[in-house]
Amino acid sequence: MPHEAAEPLPHADAVAAATVAEAEPEISSRERYRGLLWLVAAAFFMQALDSTVVNTAVPAMADALHETPLGMRSALTSYVLTLAVLIPASPWLCDRFGTRRVFGAAIVLFGLGSLLCGLAQTLPELVAARVLQGVGGAALMPVGRYVLVRSIDKREFVRAMSTVATFGLLGSVLGPLLGGALVEYTSWRLIFLINVPVAIAGVWMNRRDMPEYRLDRANPFDLTGFLLFAVASALLLTASELAGEDPVPWAEMGACGGIALLLVVVYIWHSRRTAHPVADLALLRVRSVSVSLAGGLFTRLGISGMFLLLMLFLQVGCGWSPLDAGLMMVPQALGSIAAKWAINRALVHFGYRRLLLGNTLIVAALLAAFALFGPGTPPWLIALLTFGYGCFAGLQYTTMNTLIYTDLDIQHASMASSMASTVQYLAMSFGIALSTLLMQALLRGHTPEDFVVAFRWTVVLLALITAAASRVFGRLRPDRPTEALPATR
């Protein structure tokens, strides 16, 4: 497959200064392309393995740390919120220190955080270690995507992303199996420790295969904008955590939410008056960018917490073992992998607008179908639905993730990648919080039957939220789904 020469980093006033910081040995295009794909896939694999393993182990972790299963949401949301908060800094870090150094440091921090998670003795210690994991993980996906955009021909980008995502999804297949087996036969702590050897291998691959893109002189970092965004995100999540307390501290929750919204308004004002904002809202003028971000936000609000709820439903409501419950995640991952091979044909046949409109409604319908399950549902029927759900959810994710790049010039690729990853993880964080809060509000007792009833109503409400996202994708034009990016800000 042909390899396109690297182009300058995405800052219009510094394009001429972009250089490759270190001389690299002569290697064939095919060899370099293959090694880069393996490296980015390894990072995706590590993150996917971590997220799926944790979902399976939540009941066991809650029991060991003397917490309720729904009370463990802070261990999940703290990780993804850290990703969302720190991802906007990744473009500047790449400009300043280079992609190879940033990606390598991210792998090291992620591995160290995983080690500390395995050693945690209390929930606060686990949350702190998860935050460290998030500090490392914040650069893995956006830098990986950005380097692929820089290194791969635009016509091959969708296929390359599908290939990398497929290897990442292997972590989703292995995660539930390992998580269930480790929790049932050894200790939940090992679910984090398995990331350590993967991180070691990633460091070695990074030194060999990661191209070093950087600027001789990086633009100033938008520290003010970064702090505004970080504090606003943290306050919004704090407000959602306060909503789960009994009784609800309405004054504190309202204050956190109000201050967060005020900071968002201040950031919008600030971003229009700074030369290099941490998130360039001018990109929202491009229809494909605004639709991709807004549609991805509302879609993930509805579906991000689904498989955590399913794990709780199967283990707490139906009395399944961790291994048996973990096995139910395998069909979902296999369905996502199967969908990757159909994405190119589906886009050619339907286009972004029709595909996202129809697929979003299908995902919502399949999500609502989980409400039909109960303790007596045959396992094969649950596996069949999770496979179908995985197919269409995987199709949804890949389509949304590639839509944002369809009409962007290469000089905006880094910022677009940062914004896409930020919205993705921010939506995941609030999606997990929303799903657990809904289930907690609908839970009338602590018997298995109470969990089953709360699960059913929760997935119905989440399905309605997901279906509403289809209206966002309706903004895409039937003939051509995007608009050209303005030449200047």
What is the CATH superfamily name and number for domain 28-213+278-473?
MFS general substrate transporter like domains (1.20.1250.20)
Residue 127 near residue 234, CB atoms below 8 Å: no
What is the band of 8 on the pLDDT scale with cuts at 50, 70, 90? very low
Most confident among 42-56, 383-397, 441-455 (mean pLDDT):
383-397
Q: What is the pLDDT of residues 122-157, one digit of tens each?
A: 888 998 999 899 888 888 877 887 787 777 766 666
Where do the structural domains in the chain lie, given as residue ranges? 28-213+278-473, 222-277
Q: Which amino acid is at 454?
A: A
Task: Report long-range pairs for 440-449 (Cβ below 8 Å, ≥24 apart).
Answer: 440/70, 440/244, 443/70, 448/316, 448/317, 448/318, 448/319, 448/375, 449/317
Residue with tokens 């040995």, as numbered in its chain: 25
Residue 176 near residue 29, CB atoms below 8 Å: no
At 465 the pLDDT is 92
Residue 44 near residue 144, CB atoms below 8 Å: yes
Sign of CA dihedral 458, 474, 419, 47: positive
219 pLDDT more than 80? no
pTM here? Answer: 0.74
Rg (CA), the chain: 22
Sign of CA dihedral 292, 238, 459, 465: negative
* CA atoms of 435 and 438, how far apart (whole Å): 5
For residues 385-394, average pLDDT: 92
* CA atoms of 78 and 115, how far apart (whole Å): 17
At 392 the pLDDT is 92
User: Which residues lie across from 20 on neighbouring strands?
Assistant: 213
486 pLDDT more than 70? no
Q: What is the pLDDT of residues 403-462, one digit of tens each?
A: 887 777 767 776 777 788 788 878 888 888 888 888 888 888 778 888 889 999 999 999
Residue with tokens 């290469």, as numbered in its chain: 410
* CA atoms of 64 and 461, how far apart (whole Å): 31
List the one residue out of 465, 451, 335, 31 whose CA is nearest residue 211: 31
List the one residue out of 70, 78, 432 whose CA is nearest residue 238: 78
Q: What is the pLDDT of residues 232-286, one digit of tens each?
A: 888 887 887 777 666 667 788 888 889 989 998 998 898 888 877 888 888 888 8
Is there a cis peptide before residue 247, judged by omega within 30 degrees of 0? yes
217 pLDDT more than 70? no
Mean pLDDT rounded to a whole number for the chain: 79
